[in-house]
Amino acid sequence: MPGFDVLTIGNAIVDILARTPEETLVELGIDKGAMTLVDMDRAVGLYERMGPAVEMSGGSAANTVAGLVSLGGRGAYFGKVANDTLGEIFAHDIRSLGIHFATVPLDGVPPTARCMIFVTPDGERSMSTYLGACVEFGPQDIEPEIVAAAKVSYFEGYLWDPPLAKQAILETADIAHAHGRRTAMTLSDAFCVNRYRAEFLDLMRSGKVDIVFANEAEAKALYETQDLGSAVSRLAADVPELAVVTLSERGCIVADRAGQAAYPAIRVDAVADTTGAGDLFAAGFLRGYTEGLSREHSARIGAHAAAHIIRQIGPRAQTPLSELPDIRALL
């Protein structure tokens, strides 16, 4: 078994991205900037109102491992698609990057998950996700030898939405720790944090997860506070190893029980689409972390990867990140 730098686990989703005027979000009743779960009927209705779109593999944790590999790391992924066209596209896009992906696809219904991403003129994305085959992801999909072989197992908070995935994550954490590996998670979305606050806190406090990534809204939501400083301090106290809080154009804070440090973002003048910004920051940070680089250096790789992804449409880099001069210099 070859080693992996990072295994990520998440909802395996194909994104459908379209530019949308602000008014349309209001008309359609979509929460701006959030990820909202929708059923098939609502998904069909929204798609009918959506403009011409681009399709691209997505899924938060899948974007992160795609970014990690694009940065020169070795990656693996667990996630459930169906045996259908979108599932083939998803599997192709992951495997063609050299990522280990062997989760057995679901035969029959429900179909592969899709996320309609409405991108407003300010570059912000608002997501409506139909989970489809992801609801069948569970403990049977964990490959223990892959978990054991990965320096970090990283999973998304979104996995608390489907019914069986959380059990798979708990088992993954135990396998990882039994092999001296690290676990990490992203809190995913402030609404998601509101749905699963107690469970997320328990994951950290029980030591199941060593490293937590959160953006400002998620960190504040976790502790039901408007005070960022307080949220960061409490997160750093709750997480065994490392809390990484991203602040968009204000950079990030990396904190542990001993203290915290702030690192800058990379300035981007023309934001095309923020889809994937957090996912790619985590990819860059983990690329540095798994190479044993400093927190500052890791945060810088993350900032560059995030800056690159928001200059383009969609969450997967269209050019290998490791070939970009500013990023290559950091690797």
CA distance 49 to 247: 32
Q: Is residue 191 a contact residue for a copy of itself (CB under 8 A)?
A: no
Query: Binders of a copy of itself among 1-30, rule CB under 8 A?
Result: 19
Asked if 102 touches a copy of itself (CB under 8 A), the answer is no
Task: Output the 3-class SS for 53-119.
Answer: CEEEECCHHHHHHHHHHHCCCCEEEECCCECCHHHHHHHHHHHCCCCEECCCCECCCCCCEEEEEEE
Of positions 123, 240, 314, 315, contacts a copy of itself by CB under 8 A: 314
Among 26, 85, 122, 326, binds a copy of itself (CB under 8 A): 85
Q: Which is nearer to a copy of itself, 51 or 163 (CB)?
A: 51
Angle 196-200-201 (CA atoms, 0-180°, nearest 5)?
120
* Distance separating alpha carbons of residues 32 and 10, to the nearest angstrom: 23
Considering beta carbons, is residue 92 or 205 the nearer one to a copy of itself?
A: 92
Residue 316 CB, nearest distance to a copy of itself (Å)? 6
- DSSP strand pairing (35-37 vs 125-130): parallel
Question: How far is residue 135's CA from residue 165's CA, in Å, rounded to a whole number?
Answer: 8
Q: Is 319 in the site for a copy of itself (CB under 8 A)?
A: yes
The sheet carrying 4-9 orders its strands as 100-101, 75-78, 4-9, 150-156, 182-186, 211-215, 242-246, 252-256, 259-263
Residue type, 235: L
Give yes or no for residue 294 binding a copy of itself (CB under 8 A): no
Contact with a copy of itself (CB under 8 A): which of 96, 108, 259, 269? 96
Residues 24 and 160: their CA atoms lie apart, in Å, by: 29
Nearest approach, Cβ of 127 to a copy of itself (angstroms)? 18
* Minimum CB–partner distance for residue 87 and a copy of itself (Å): 10
Neighbours of 42 (CB within 10 A): 16
Which residue in this structure is represented by tokens 């039901």?
224
| Token pair listed for 259 | 């203290």
User: Of 42, 55, 72, 233, which one interacts with a copy of itself (CB under 8 A)?
Assistant: 55
Question: Candidates 32-40, 80-88, 259-267, 288-296 — which segment interacts with a copy of itself by CB under 8 A?
Answer: 80-88
Residue 208 beta carbon to a copy of itself: minimum distance, rounded to whole angstroms = 32
Contact with a copy of itself (CB under 8 A): which of 92, 205, 250, 311?
Answer: 92
Q: Is 86 in the site for a copy of itself (CB under 8 A)?
A: yes
139 CB neighbour count, 10 Å cutoff: 14
Of the candidates 247, 320, 256, 237, the residue with the CA atom closest to the CA atom of residue 277: 247
Q: Which is nearer to a copy of itself, 90 or 137 (CB)?
A: 90
- Is 124 an interacting residue with respect to a copy of itself (CB under 8 A)? no
Query: Binding of a copy of itself at residue 97 (CB under 8 A)?
Result: yes
Which C-beta is closer to a copy of itself: that of 150 or that of 313? 313
For residue 284, the minimal CB distance to a copy of itself (Å) is 18
CA 10 remoteness from chain centre: 8
Please say which residue, 87 or 240, places its beta carbon nearer to a copy of itself: 87
Q: Which of 160, 143, 7 is nearest to 73 (CA)?
A: 7
Interface with a copy of itself by CB under 8 A: which residues?
19, 47-48, 50-57, 66, 84-86, 89, 92-94, 96-97, 313-314, 316, 318-319
